[in-house]
Amino acid sequence: SEKFLFWSKDLITEPAFSSFLFLFCLSRAQVYYVTAIENTLLYCIPRATLKQAMTENEAVRHHFACEEGERLAFRYQDNALSANNVLYLKPISTIQNTVMVVVTPDASIRSVAEKMVTQHRSSALVMSQGKLLGIVTDRDLTKRVVAQGVDIQNPISLVMTKNPVTVSANEPIISAIELMMQHNIRSLPVMENQRVTGVLTATSLVQKNSIQAVYLISRIYRQESVSELKALVFQRQTVFESLVDANVPALTIQLMMSMIADAFTKRLLQLAEKQLGAPPCGYCWFVAGSQARQEMHYLSDQDSGVILERDVNEQEINWFRQLSDFVCYGLEDCGYALCPGHMMPTNPKWCQPLARWKENYRQWLRHPESESLLHFSVFLDIRFLYGQASLFESLVSEVKQNLQERRRLLSILVANSLRVSPPLGIFRQFVLVKNGENHSVFNIKKQAINLLIELARVYALDAGELLSSTAERLKVAENAGIISSASHKELLEAYTFINQVRFNYQRQSLNHGQVFSNQIEPELLTQFERNHLKDAFRIISRTQEAALQRFHAKGVLQ
């Protein structure tokens, strides 16, 4: 048995077997004491020897760093560097074609075709006074001109695709791939600050990148029934497994799983409209929770809502009931569990006219307690997915306006979050509970990941933003001076590392045919993972304490 205590004026820690006691010693001028409480084998490494090793070896230097964030950062540094070369993380601007054929709407079809041939381009942008009016591709010329016998002296505006789908230059390439698959197009104008900066083509994607990882999304949009979509469920698991096995960064895995869920949802909405006919009025389908944050994992359930353009009668609302049932139960068939709290448009409360949604948020803001607080927390993470985007934009604009001068709300959100603490005791030991199989576990989602999500949400709200992703929220908080650059970095490293541990653990569960859950048994983790999880939990605890002080949240919910 090997047990000892590490202390200064107060007890600092009771280290585990095979632990190091140098972390506090190398850069802090303070006297420390080690007391053996059982028979202990203790190796004493001279300070000079260790410092020399740290100077000569980067891995040693980072492993022995005093700051938890630095130790966490180095663990997945190689992954982060390689992630810059991963298809779906690159910005579209890195592979767009900046040499474009630009023509006016009155240019003849013949002259446009000649320009495309001369400049070796497969598309031409139709513009007037700097505004994009349309696009024409070589396929358009074949199908709409040659096949139809159209006079080539006619203006190009006659055969162009008006108001084409566009993509932002700063979006990840995965977004462009998803748009191409969804709309069955091969050329996308790229926009930045409302200005066309280039064109992205399917050819450039194939030439410069491997898109095998998103093949599933392509297949989803080609299915014609729920049963056909259901047949793709196993492929979703395969994608998850391959991403984890390839050591892809956790945030990228979350993005990919969210993109797949988006595709399933959109395809079900398309199939529902095809079956039910045209909607009786404009509507918007938005997603909430982890899907809105684009932070889904393999176990994520559904959270969503429908915004109606206007009040509807009983016959019209029946159309939306059928739509909601078709999509939500279809998603359940495709492996996405129904929301236990019924936060889906199958619940009439979450399928309402825009005016009612605005009133809901006003009520939640005025009375953010108990059940209202739960609803408000879920519906603070929302993202437009399908339908009439203007309805969603109107709702978000109203919510942002009403959030101003709501300091008490932030205090309540912080106090509610602080009801749960990371599973770490005062001696840096894990605080565990027994699960149904009598194994000692902690819930990595409820006791770690959710805490970081909630802190990032509050910080972003304090900055006046309704951004959804945790990474974006932390960056906004830093830019607003709410948290320091160092805090931003260590919180993001903690969030990334904890999710990486969760995904690796869940992957091992699949390998062994075990129940897939967020219950983590520390004994099944590596020593490295256990040590660095403790670092991450300490970061969360410090940030919770800082939030408690900043938002004066102590005693708010008592």
pLDDT in tens, 114-131: 999 999 898 999 999 989
- The predicted model gives 209-216 an average pLDDT of 59
Highest CATH level, class, for 96-175+188-200: alpha beta
Nearest to 201 by CA among 299, 282, 103, 100: 100
φ and ψ of 68, to 5 deg: -60, -40
Confidence (pLDDT) at 85: 45
- The predicted model gives 155-173 an average pLDDT of 92
Query: How buried is residue 168: exposed, middle or buried, by Cβ count under 10 Å (0-12/13-18/19+)?
Result: middle
Query: What band does 234 get if pLDDT is binned at 50, 70 and 90?
Result: confident
CB-based contacts of 316-319 (< 8 A; 24+ apart in sequence): 316/280, 316/281, 317/351, 319/276, 319/279, 319/280
Confidence (pLDDT) at 279: 97
Query: What band does 15 get if pLDDT is binned at 50, 70 and 90?
Result: low
Write down the CATH superfamily of domain 212-366+383-395: Beta Polymerase, domain 2 (3.30.460.10)
Say whether pLDDT at 277 is over 60. Answer: yes
For the chain, give the longest Cα–Cα distance: 95
Confidence (pLDDT) at 131: 93
**Direct distance between the N- and C-terminal alpha carbons of the chain, in angstroms, rounded to an integer:** 44
Q: At what angle are helices 389-403 and 354-366 packed, to 10 degrees?
A: 20
- Average pLDDT score over the chain: 85
Say whether pLDDT at 53 is over 90. Answer: no
The yes-or-no answer to whether 212-366+383-395 and 407-550 have a common fold is no
407-550 carries CATH number 1.20.120: yes
Overall size of the chain counted in residues: 558
Say whether pLDDT at 34 is over 90. Answer: no
Query: What band does 150 get if pLDDT is binned at 50, 70 and 90?
Result: very high
User: HEC states along 237-258?
Assistant: HHHHHHHHHCCCCHHHHHHHHH
- The predicted model gives 152-162 an average pLDDT of 94
pLDDT in tens, 395-439: 999 998 888 767 788 888 999 889 999 999 877 789 998 887 888
Q: Which residues contact 521 (CB under 8 A, 6 or more apart)?
A: 439, 440, 441
The kind and range of the H/E element at 270 are helix 250-276
pLDDT in tens, 494-515: 999 999 999 999 888 888 878 7
Q: Which residues contact 441 (CB under 8 A, 6 or more apart)?
A: 432, 433, 434, 435, 519, 520, 521, 522
Nearest to 205 by CA among 293, 339, 95: 95
Which residue reads 């560097």 in tokens?
A: 81
Nearest to 324 by CA among 304, 309, 341: 304
Least confident of 175-179, 354-358, 419-423: 175-179
Task: Give this prediction's pTM.
Answer: 0.74
- The 8-class DSSP code of residue 133 comes to E
Cα 414 to Cα 114, 377, 426, 469, distances in angstroms: 63, 11, 22, 18
Whole-angstrom distance, CA of residue 259 vs CA of residue 383? 13
Whole-angstrom distance, CA of residue 134 vs CA of residue 193? 18
pLDDT in tens, 55-111: 888 777 777 776 666 666 655 554 444 444 455 667 888 888 888 999 999 999 999
Q: Encoding tokens for residue 500?
A: 């990486």
Domain spans in the chain, listed from the N-terminal domain onward: 4-66, 96-175+188-200, 212-366+383-395, 407-550
Give the 3-state secondary structure of residue 199: strand
Q: Count Cα neighbours of 160 within 13 Å in the Cβ-side half-sphere.
A: 28
Query: What band does 376 get if pLDDT is binned at 50, 70 and 90?
Result: confident
